[in-house]
Structure 1
Amino acid sequence: MIRGILSKIIASSRFITIFIILSLVLGLYSYYLLPKQESPEVSAPVAMISNIYPGASPQEVERMVTRVIESNIRKLPGYDFSESYSRNSISVVLLQLQNDAPVEESWNELRRILSDTQRELPPECLPIQLNTDLAETAGIIVSLSGQHYNPEELAVVAEKFKKRLEQVEGIARFEIFGEEKKRIEVEIDHTRLAASGLSLEEIFNILQAQNVVIPPGAIVEEGIKTNVRIPGWYNSLDDIENTIIGVSPDGISQRLKDIANIRWELEPDRPLARYNGQSALLLTGYFEAEENILLVGKKLRDELDKLKSEAPHDLLVDQVLFQPDEVNKNLYRFLRNLLEGIILVIIVVLLGMGWKNALVASTAIPLSIMLSFMAMYLLGIKVQEISIAALIIVLGILVDDAIVMVDAIQVGLDKGLKRMEACLQGLKQAAIPILTATLVIIIAFSPIFVLPGAPGEFLQSLPQIVLISLLASYVVAMFITPAMAYRFFTPSQHRKDDWLRRFFAYLLHESMARKRTAIISSLLIFSLAVYALTFMGLQFFPSADKDLLYIDINAPAGSTRVRTEELLLQVEDILSREGEVLAYTSSVGSAVPKFYITLPVSPQAPDFAQVMLRIRPQQGDRFQNNEEMASYLQEKLDSRISAGNIKVKLLEKAFPVAPVQLRISGEQRENLRQAAELIKSKLKQIPGSRNVEDNGEKEIQQLLVEADAEKASRLGISNYDIQRQTSLALEGGRASVLRQEGEQYSILLRSDINSRQQLENLSIKSAYSKRSVPLKEIVGIEVKPQLSSINKYDGQNSIKVRSDIRPGYSAVEIEKELKDKLSSVELPGVSLLYDGEYKQIKDNFGILTRAALLALFLIYFILVLQFHSFIQPLVIFLTIPLALIGSILGLLLFRQPLSFMAFIGMVSLTGLVIRNAILLIAFINDARERGLAVEKACEDAVERRFRPIILSAVTATIGLVPLALSGSSLFVPLAIAIIFGLLVATLLTMVIIPVVYSLLLPERTEVKA
C-alpha cells in the first residue's frame, strides 16, 4: 500500500509543482511577516528593589530597611542570591533568581512579599519600588538640542515629538530623558528669620495654610442651590512673595519676601542629558514586542522626517540610536552569508555530480529554507542573528539527504532498473539511514536546549532551527527528490576513476595492511591535539561586534551633580579631539537610557555619569578593533584626569561580569578592607590586568549633631523641634505647590545656610514655649567620618574586587595566577568567591558537557536499534575524537579561543561526523550481506560511498565559509571548529573506521542487540 502511495506521489507532476510553488510563495510571505530583531530576546532573572527613607544615614537604612527586605525576600521560591547597597536615604537590593525558576510566577510572589514587607518598615519610608524589567532596551534614541533653546522650550518641542511618534503603529511608548523640571525655591535668610521670631516650621505651616482650597459648600434660596467658592491657591510667584507671615506691633504686615529670596530653580536631582557637548533632551522609544521592527522602523523614520522638516532650522535633531538600522545591517550581513553559502554549496554539488543530479539535489536547499520560514512563523521564532546563523550552519547539511537519495537512485538506474523501480528502491535503501542520520544531528544539537539562564535563552533558536530545517530537508528528500529524479534522471556513463578516489583507495589498502600502525598514529595525533588544548585561551562570550563603547564616570563619593558634571566635561573635551569618535551622548545623575540589552544596572546618583560613544576605529590607522581603541582611551583618560574613577568599557555579548572578579565576604569591615587592598595589589602585579578596582565603602565626612536632652528640655525644645527645623534648613521641605497652566510646581522651603558656623547659629524655636535659641546652645557638633554606602552579598558584608584585561590576555590565566599568589597568603575572617568569567565558563561548559554525554547515550541507543549491534555504534563513535583533532587544529591555526560558541560547534559536530560514519557502516554491512569478506567489504563501501561522503562533508563546510570569513567574533570560532573538525574527521573516517571495523568485527560473531 505504501509502495503504491509513493508511486503515485512520484509520478504526479501536478503534486510536485503545487508543492514547490506553495512552499516558495508561503515561505517568502512567512519571512516577510516574521518579526525581525538584531539579537534574541533575553529575560534577565534579576529584580531591583528600592526604597527611600528620607534623612536616614546609610547605617540606619541598612538596619531598618535593607536588612528587613533581604530577610523577607529569602522566602521567595527560586531565590538564588541578593546584593544590597545602603546609602544616605536610599536602599537598593538586587535579587537574582535561580536559572530554572519560573520568572513571572516568582515576580508575582515577590510583589506580595514586598507588600507585606512595607508594613514592617519605618512609617517615614516611601512605598517600595520594584523593577523586574531590567533587560528592556530602547529601540530608538533621538537627541534634541540647540544653542538658542532653554530647557523649557526644548521640553515643549520634545513633548510634541513624543506625542506624534507614539501614534506610530508598533510603538509601545516614548519617554523624555533629561527633562529639567522647574520648582520654586523659598530660600530663607537665616539672620532675618532669627530677627522675625519665627521658625522654619512655622513658615512651612503658613505656606501650607495659605495655599489651600476647602469646598465651603452651598446656600439654598427659594429652592435654588448656589455653590460658594473661596479662591485660595497661589497663582503666581507674586502671590508667594506677598504671603503675610506676621504683623508688627504698629500694624505693618511682614511678608515672606522680606526674609526670603523666592525664585524659580531647576530640580537638582533629575538626570541631565548632553549630546556632543551640548545640553540636550533624549527621546527614548520602545517597540512592541511582537512587531516586525523593520516595518515599524520605516514608518517611524517617515514620521521623524516629517517632524524634522516642520521643526525650526536651528533645532538639532540627531539620531543617537535607531535599532531598525542595526537590525537591517545585521540581517543583511547574515542573509548575504546565507546566499553566498547557498551559491557555494550548489557549485560544489554541480562539480561533484552530473548537472541533472546536482540541480535535483540542490532543489532541497531553497525548499527546506522556505519550509523552515513557514515553521518559524507558526512557532513564533523570530528572525535574528542566531536563527539566521543556524540556517547557515545547517545549509550544507540540507542538501546531504538529497545527495544520498540522488546517489541511491542513480545507482539503481546504472544497474538497469526502470526509473520508477530505481526511485522506489532508492527510497527503501536510503530512508532509514537518512532518518537515523537526521535524528543523530538533531540530538547532537539538543544539549543547547538544556542550557539555563541567559545563555540558554540567547541560543535557544539555534537547535530549534536545526530541528525544523533538517525535518524539512528529510521531507524534501523523501518525496520531492525522487519525484524530480523520476522525471530527469537517466543512466550515467561509467564514473571517472578520479585521483582523489584512487588516493583514498590506496590509503585504505595500505592502512588495512598496517592496522595497528594506523590506529596508533591516530591515537598519537589525538593526544597531541588534546595537549594543544592547554595552549588555547578560554572565553565565555566575546564582546559585541558593534561600533559602540561606553564610559562609566564615578566622581568622588559625596560629589554633587555639579561637581560630577565638571568631571564629565573634562571627559567630553578629550573625546571631542579624537577623530575616531563620531558622536557621544552623556548623562549626569544616571546612566544613558539603556541602549544595549546586556548593559549592567547602573546607579541613579548625583556622583555618577555615563557616556555612550559611537566610534569607527578603522577610520584612521591607529586601531584595528574596539579593544585597541578602548585601551587607548582608558590610558589617555587616566593620564589626563586624576579625580574620580573613569572606566572605558566594551559592550558584552552576554550579561556581563568582570573578566576577573573576586567577592570577599565577612563580618568585620576592617578585615574586608585589608583583604581587598592586598588582593588588588596582587592583581595589579599580574601582566594583562587593567582597571583594578573594588566597590568597597568609602568614608565621607559628616557633621554629627547630638542634642543635650536636659538643656533642651529646660527650654521646652523637643528632639522633634531640633531635627525638623534643622532638616528644613539644610535639606528643605516641599511646603506646597504652585498651579499654572495645568502644571504643578513644587514650592521648596529651605534656608541659605552653607557653613558650619551658620548652622550653629540657626535659630531653633520651641513649639511649646515659643522660645528661640541658637542651635549651638542645645547641641554638640563634631566632624565624624561616615560610610558612603554599606554593601552586602546575601546578607553578609561584602566587597567585590574586579579587573578588566588588556587585549591579547586571558581572564582565565590571570585568575589562575591570582589564585597561585593568594594560596600562600593568610586572610583571616573573610571568605573568597571567584565570580568572574572563568566561573561562567566552568558552569556553562560543565552543563553542556553533561548534556552532550546524555545526547551521545541517546545516539548510541538509536544506533543499536538500527544496526542490531552493541559494537558497531562504538566503532561509529570513534569519529568524535577524529573530529576534535580537526577542531582544535583549526582554532589553533586561526588563533581563535576555545569560546563557548566554539565548544557548541564541537558538541554539534558529533552529529555531523557520526552521520557520515552511519552511512559508511551501513554500506559495509550491506557488502558483507552480499558475501564479501570484511576487508573487501570495507574497500567496496568506501568506493561506493566516497562521492556522497566527500560531497556531504564539502557542502557542509563550504556553506560555513562565509560565516567563518564574516569577522563575527561570536560565530567565527564556531564555524572554524565545525569546518576543520568535519573535514579532518571525514578524511580519517574513510580510513580509520574501516580499519577498526575490520579489527573488531572480522567475522559475524559480534554481540547482537
Structure 2
Amino acid sequence: MKKIISFLLREKYVAVAAFVLTILFGIFSFYRMPRQENPDITSPSALITTVYPGASAHDVEELVTKKIEEEASKIDGIEKIDSISNDNFSAVIVTISYSVDKQKQWSDLKEYIDNVKSELPSGCYEPHVDTESMVETAGMLLSVSGDNLTPSQLDYYVKKLKQNLLPIEEINKITIAGNTQKKVFVETNAMKLNNYSISIEEIYNLLQAQNLRIPAGAIDTPGGKINVNVPESFESLEDIENIIIAASERGIVRLKDVANVYFGEDDDAKKIYSKGKNAVVLAAYFKTKNNVVLVGDEIDDAILKTKNSASADLDIDKITFQPEDVKLALDDFILNLFEGIIFVIVIVLIGMGIRNALIVSVSLPLTIFASFCFMYIFKIDLQQISIAGLIMAVGMVVDNSIVVTDAVQMRLNEGLPNNQAALEGVMESAVPVFTSTLTTVAALATLFVLPGEAGEFIKTMPVVIIAALLFSYAVSIFVVPVFAAMFFRTNTKLDNYDSKTRLIFSNLLSAAFSRKKLSAILVFGIFFLSVATAVLVLPLEIFPYTDKNYLYVDVVNSKKGDIKSTYELTKDIESLLGDEKAIESIFTCVGGYFPKYYLTSAIGSDSADFSQLIVKFNLKNDKAFGKDKQEFMMHIQNKLNENITGAQITAKLLAITAPGSDIEILISGNERTNLVEKANMIKDELMNIEGLYNVASSYAKNRQEYSIDVDNSIASVMGLTKYDIQRQVNIALSGINASVLNSDDNEYDIVLKSNIASISDLENFKIKSTATGNKIMLKQAADVTLSAAEPSAQRYNKSPVIKVTAEVSKGYSAQMAQNKIEKIINLNYSDDDIDFEFGGEKQTLSKYLKGLGIAAAISLAVIFVILMIQFSSLLQPLIIMISVPLSVIGSIFGLWIFDQPFSFTAGLGLLSLIGIVVNNAILLLEYINRARRDGLTIDEACKSSVKRRFRPIMLTTITTVVGLVPLALSASSFFTPMAVALMTGLMVSTLLTLIVVPMFYSMVEK
C-alpha cells in the first residue's frame, strides 16, 4: 500500500485522471440505470387452482384439495399450506422458506401436481400451478368507462387501447378485467330433450366434434402436393342451430328443435365500475430492469390516441400509474440525497476551513458516483430502498477522509513537507480507518440474514451502503492524500477551532475520572431506563403503512353466491363514501378482486359475495385529519360499520408487508364441528376486548342445498352409473364450454346448458344410460332432498381450520391484545384435539425481531473478532463495544421524543449503528495505545486521546447525522423511524463515548 501511495503522490495526474473518469462514468450510469418504485422480489408462495364444475365445496375438498395438498407437501422447505374449497373451485397456496432453492422446489411442485392429475375425478379440469401472480404487480391500472357506452363499445375501446399500448417495448403483457364476455348459449329445453334418445352429454360431444380442426392431408398433382383443408364449421348461430343431433323414421332432429341458441352475457361475471359508471380495467405489466418513468409519456400518447378516435363519452382514468408514482417518489428521494450532500459539505466547511473542507468534499461526489457505477454494472435498480441506502451512506463516506486529512494536517503543522506529511498521515490512519470501515461493513452485512420477504425487500440497502463505504475507504487512502499534498498548507488555527467545546468535554472527563464507579453505575442505569422505556412506553409497529394515498375496502356479503345483492351493497357503500371531502375517486370491482396493483395488495379468486373498492384520497381537501392517514382510515371504517349491515367490511391502507389482520387465531383439528364451537366462543371473547374491531370468523354458516341420493340397486337395474347422473346433471345445471364460434374476427365461447328452473324440472330430467342407451327420469333412480352444506372449507397444513381475526384501533397495542386472548384461550379453551396457532402482527413481530436479534449477535461477534485481531487483546474490544449500549440509549429516547414507533426499520437503524458507533471508540483506543507507547500514563493517554481525536470524531458524527436529516424530515412511514434511530443513537453514543470509553479503559487497565 505504501508503494502505491508513494507512486500516486509522485504521479498525481493518475489520481486526477481516475477522479475525472469515475465522475464521468458515474453520470453516465446514473442516467442509464433502471428506475422503478420497489425492488424486485421473488415469491415464496405458489398458487394451485383447480376447477371442478358442478361439485360442492365438500366434494371439492375430498376429491381435489386433499389430493393436491398431499402431493404439494412432498417438496422441501415448506412453511405452510393454506387451502380453500368452494363450490366448483379449489385453491391451494404453498409457502416455502426463503432459504431453499425456490426454482428447484417450484419445478418439483409442478412435477408432483402433474402426477396427481390422473387421480382427480372425471370432469375436473387440470390443476394450474402459478408461481408468479403472488408477486407479479401491474405497473398501471386504467379504467375505460363512459356514461352512454354499451358493454360492447367499452370492450371495443379497451381492445383499441390495448392495441395502441402493445408497441411500447417496456410493456411485458396486458390483461383486461371486467369486460363483459359475449358468449353463445345453447340452452336445451329439458322437456323437449326428454322426448328424444339423445342426452345433453352427447350434444356436448357433437358440438365439440363438429368444430374440430383436423389436417385432411394432401393430394399429389403434376405441380406438386396440394394440401386439403376442411374449414371449421361454426361461423354463425345458424350453423350451430342446424346441427343434426338425431335421426329417426319421423325425420332428422336438429339442435334448434330442442334448444334455444342465442348471444348472451354471463350474469355472474365480475363487473367493474369507475366513479359509478360501467367500466373495464386494463392492467399493464412492465418488464423488469427498465426505466418506467420514461414509459409514462408513451402511455399518455397511447391514451390520447385512443380518446381522439372515440366518442366524447369515453373516459380513461388512471387508477394506479407507476410511471408518475415512481417519478414523484424518486424525485423526492434524489432531492433528499442531494440535500444530504449539501448539508454534509456545509458542516465540513464549518468544521475544517475552506481549503481542507474542499479536499474532504471531493471524496463525497467521487464515492457517490463510484456507487452509481457499481449499481449500473451489477444491475441494481434506482428505487426507494437503494436510494435510501445512498442517503444513509452520504454522511458516512466522508468519515474516512476526515480522519485521513486530519492526520495529514497534523503532520503539516509539525513542519513536514507536503508529500511526506500526506504519506505519514495516511499510513498512520490506514489501519484504524480500515478497521472502522470493516466493522461498519460487518454490521451491515448481517442484514442479509434477515428472514422472509422483508429481508429480501431491503437487501439492496446494505449492498449499496457497503459498496459506498468500500469506495470511500479507497478514496480516502489513494485519492484524498494526493489532493491534500497538492493544496494543504500549515494551519494552526484548526487546533484552536473547537477549543471551547473540547474544554467542556475535558472537564466532564476529569469529573468522570474522579468518580469512576459512580459514573459507571449512572451509565448503566440510564441504559436500563432506556430499555424499560422501549418495553413499556414505545409503541410497536413492525411494518408501517405505505405513503400512498390509497385506501381499499373489502366487502364480504353475508348472502352467499348472490352477486346482485353484493352489487347493491357495494353501491350503498360507494354512495356513503361519496360525501367525504378527502375522497377524490372511487373504483369498484364486484364479484372479485382488482388485478394486483401493489407489491402487497391481495389477490383472490372471483366470488359472487365479494367486492373491492379502491379509494383515492387527498387529506389536503379535508383539514379535519391533518396528515394522519390512519385516522382517516378509522373514520371510514367507523362510518361503514355504523351505516352498512349485512356484510363484513374492512377498510385498509396499503401496507409495506402482505395484507392480513392485526390479530389472527388459527383453530385447527380433525373435526370441523368442534372447531366451529370453539371459534364462536373465542370470537365472543375478542368482541369484549377494548380496542378491537372487525372481529370475524372465517367460518361460513351452512346453507341449504339439494342433494341427489342415488339408489344404487335401482340405478344398477336400469343400467345407470353415478357417472351418468353426475355428468349429465352437471352439464344441465352448471353449463359447460363446448366449443367456439368464430364470427367477424371475434371468437365466442359456446356454452351448453339446460333451462331447468325448479326442483320438479330436475326430478323429471331424463338421464341416458351409457350402457343400455335408455333414458330414465332422475326421480326414478334417485331422491332429491334438501340438506345443509358448507359453502366453503378452509384448511391449514392439511387440517381443517377456522380463522378468527380482528383489527386493532389506533392507540391500542396488538401485542397486548393478543397476549390477553392467548391467556384466555390457555385458561379456558385448551383441548387435546384442537390446535391453536397465533398469527397476525405478533407472529410477524416475533419473526422479524428474532431475525434482527440473530443479525445483531452475528454482527457483534464478527466485530469482536476484527477488533481482537487489530488490538491483540480480549479486553480492549470489550471496552470499545461499550459504545453499542450507549447508542441504544440515544435511539430509544430519540424515537420516544420524536413520537416514532419501534418498527422493523427502526430496528435496522439500531443494527446499523453497531458498526458505526464503535468507530469512534476505535479511534480513541488506537491513540491511547500509541500515547502509552510514547511514555504517557494511562490517565494522561486517555485525556490526550479525547483532545487529539475530538475534532475528527465530532465531525464524522455530525456529517453522518446531517446526512440523514432529509430522510428524517421526509415524513416517510418506512424511513423516518430508521433515520431518527440512527441520528439520535449516534449523537448520544458519540457524546458518551468521549467520556465513558476512556473512563472504562482507565478502570480496566489499572
8 Å contact kept, 1:184–1:745:
yes
Matches within 5 A, 1:52-67: 52-67=51-66
Q: State the distance in 1 between where 2:462 and 2:647 align.
A: 46
Q: Which residue of 1 aligns with 2:946?
A: 942
2 CA distance for matches of 1:950 and 1:215? 83
Matched, 1:608 2:610: yes
The equivalent of 1:750 in structure 2 is 753
Which residue matches 2:556? 554
**Which residues in structure 2 correspond to 1:158-237 (within 5 Å)?**
158-193=158-193, 200=200, 233-237=233-237
Secondary structure of 1:22's counterpart equals: helix
1:522-581 Cα distance to aligned partner (Å, 9 max, x none): 121112112212222222211111111112222236314333333322222223332322
Partners of 1:158 and 1:620 in 2: how far apart?
A: 35
Deviates further, 374-383 or 235-244: 235-244
Equivalent in the alignment of 1:523: 524
Quote the offset at 1:825 in angstroms. 0.5
Native 8 Å contact 1:57 1:88 kept in 2: yes
Q: CA deviation at 1:765?
A: 5.9
Please point out which of 813, 817, 823 is paired with 1:814.
817
Distance 1:811 1:589, change over 3 A: same
Aligned to 1:301: 300
Matched residue, 2:889? 885
1:900 positional shift:
1.3
Q: In the alignment, does 2:694 pair up with 1:694?
A: no
| 2:409 is the alignment partner of 1:410 | yes
Distance 2:410 2:502 in 1: 17
1:697·1:791 contact (CA, 8 Å) conserved in 2? no
Q: Percent identity?
A: 37
| Aligned residue in 2 for 1:392 | 391
> What does the per-residue CA deviation read over 1:12-69, in whole Å, with 9 as the maximum and x for residues that have no partner?
4422332222121111111111111111112121001111223222222222222211
Q: Deviations over 1:87-107 (max 9, x none)?
A: 222221110112201111111
Amino acid at match of 2:143: S
Structure 1 SS opposite 2:463? helix
1:242-391 aligned within 5 A: 257=256, 260-268=259-267, 270-391=269-390
TM alignment of 1:333-732, pairs within 5 A: 333-494=332-493, 495-496=495-496, 498-535=499-536, 536-556=538-558, 558-623=560-625, 624-711=627-714, 719-720=722-723, 722-732=725-735
Q: Measure how far apart 1:656 and its partner are.
A: 3.3
CA distance in 2, matches of 1:928, 1:302: 73
Aligned to 2:398, what secondary structure does the other structure show?
A: helix
| 154-163 vs 708-717, greater mean Cα deviation | 708-717
Range with bigger deviation, 307-316 or 105-114: 307-316
Post-superposition Cα deviations, 1:370-397, rounded to whole Å, max 9, x if no partner, equal 0111111112211111111111112111
Amino acid at match of 1:997: Y
Distance 1:780 1:919, change over 3 A: same
Distance 1:181 1:931, change over 3 A: same
Secondary structure at 2:283's aligned position in 1?
Answer: strand
Identify the residue that residue 155 of structure 2 maps to in structure 1. 155
3-state DSSP of counterpart to 2:317: strand
Instruction: Say whether the 8 Å CA contact 2:561–2:607 is kept in structure 1.
Output: no
Cα offset, 1:429, TM superposition? 0.9
Aligned to 2:918: 914
Identify unmatched segments of 5+ residues in structure 1: 1003-1009
Change (3 A) 1:227 1:517: closer
In the aligned structure 2, how far is the partner of 1:718 from the partner of 1:523?
A: 82
Measured in 2, the distance between the counterparts of 1:842 and 1:202 equals: 59
What's the secondary structure of 2:545's corresponding residue?
coil
Q: Closer, same or farther in 2 for the Cα pair 1:228/1:115, shift >3 Å?
A: closer
Task: Tell whether the 8 Å contact from 2:859 to 2:914 is kept in structure 1 after alignment.
Answer: no
Report the Cα distance in structure 1 between the residues aligned to 2:362 and 2:232, rounded to whole angstroms: 82
Q: Is the 8 A contact 1:30 1:374 kept in 2?
A: yes
Deviation at 1:201, TM superposition (A): 5.1
- SS of the residue corresponding to residue 831 of structure 1 reads strand
Tell me the alpha carbon deviations over residues 114-143 of structure 1, each in whole angstroms, 9 at most, x when there is no partner.
111212222432111000011000012211
Counterpart secondary structure, 1:705: strand
- The unaligned stretches of length 5 or more in structure 2 are none
Cα distance change, pair 640–929 in 1 and its aligned pair in 2 (3 A): same
Count of residues in Structure 1 that have an aligned counterpart in Structure 2: 1000
C-alpha distance in 2, partners of 1:839/1:767? 56
Deviation for aligned residue 1:228: 8.7
Given candidates 949, 960, 963, the residue that maps to 2:964 is: 960
Contact 2:53–2:734 (CA under 8 A) maintained in structure 1: no
Structure 1 segment 754-833 matched on structure 2, within 5 A: 754-764=757-767, 774-828=777-831, 829-833=833-837
- Structure 1 position 148, deviation (Å): 3.0
Match of 2:879 in 1: 875
Q: 2 CA distance for matches of 1:247 and 1:481?
A: 98
TM-score, with length taken from structure 1: 0.94
For residues 584 and 302 of structure 1, what CA distance do their matches in structure 2 show?
Answer: 25
Give the residue type in structure 1 aligned to 2:233: W
- Distance in 2 (CA, whole Å) between partners of 1:203 and 1:474 is 79
**1:932: which partner in 2?**
936
Q: How far is the alpha carbon of 1:631 from its aligned partner?
A: 1.5
Q: Counterpart of 1:558 in structure 2: which amino acid?
A: K
Counterparts of 1:707 and 1:821 in 2: how far apart (Å)? 47
* Alignment correspondent of 2:973: 969
Closer, same or farther: CA 768–342 of 1 in aligned 2, 3 Å: closer
Q: After superposing the two structures, state which structure 1 stretch, 613-622 or 892-901, moved more.
A: 613-622
- Residue equivalent to 1:859: 863
| Structure 1 residues 774-800: Cα deviation after superposition (integer angstroms, max 9, x where no partner) | 544443222100111121111111111
Q: Do the aligned partners of 1:244 and 1:253 also contact (CA within 8 Å) in 2?
A: yes
Residues 1:67 and 1:627: Cα distance change in structure 2 (over 3 Å): same
Identify if the C-alpha distance between structure 1 residues 619 and 51 changes in structure 2 by more than 3 Å, giving closer, same or farther.
same
Does structure 2 conserve the Cα–Cα contact (< 8 Å) formed by 1:348 and 1:955? yes
Comparing 706-715 and 828-837, the one that deviates more: 706-715
Following superposition, the deviation at residue 754 of structure 1 comes to 2.1
Aligned partners of 1:783 and 1:235: how far apart in 2? 43
> Partners in 1 of 2:280 and 2:47 — Cα distance?
26
Name the structure 2 match of 1:22.
21
Q: Does 1:850 align with 2:854?
A: yes
Alignment partners' CA distance in 2, 1:311 and 1:742: 20
Is the 1:213–1:233 Cα contact (8 Å) retained in structure 2?
no
Corresponding letter in the other structure for 1:50: T
C-alpha spacing 1:778/1:505, structure 2 compared with 1 (3 Å): same
The structure-2 alpha-carbon separation of the partners of 1:240 and 1:951, relative to structure 1 and needing over 3 Å to count, comes to: same
How far the C-alpha of 1:718 sits from its partner, in A, is 5.5
One-letter amino acid matched to 1:962: P
C-alpha spacing 1:228/1:844, structure 2 compared with 1 (3 Å) = closer
Verify the 8 A CA contact 1:219 1:228 in the aligned structure 2: yes
Aligned partner of 1:1006 in structure 2 is: none
SS at match of 1:363: helix
* Residues 245 and 100 of structure 1, relative CA distance in 2, 3 Å threshold: closer
Q: Is the 8 A contact 1:666 1:830 kept in 2?
A: yes
Change (3 A) 1:631 1:933: same
Alpha carbons of structure 1 residues 652 and 493: separation in structure 2 relative to 1, 3 Å: same
Cα distance, 1:268 vs. partner? 4.2
Match for 2:794: what amino acid? N
Change (3 A) 1:79 1:826: closer
Q: What is the TM-score with the length of structure 2 in the denominator?
A: 0.94
What SS does the aligned partner of 1:119 have? helix
SS in structure 1 of the partner of residue 829 of structure 2: coil
Deviations 1:785-826 (A, max 9, x none): 011112111111111112121122221121112122223203
The 1:209–1:610 alpha-carbon spacing in structure 2 relative to 1, beyond 3 Å, is same
Q: CA deviation at 1:968?
A: 0.7
**Partners of 1:618 and 1:625 within 8 A in 2:** no
Q: Per-residue deviation at 1:734?
A: 3.9
Aligned residue number for residue 895 of structure 1:
899
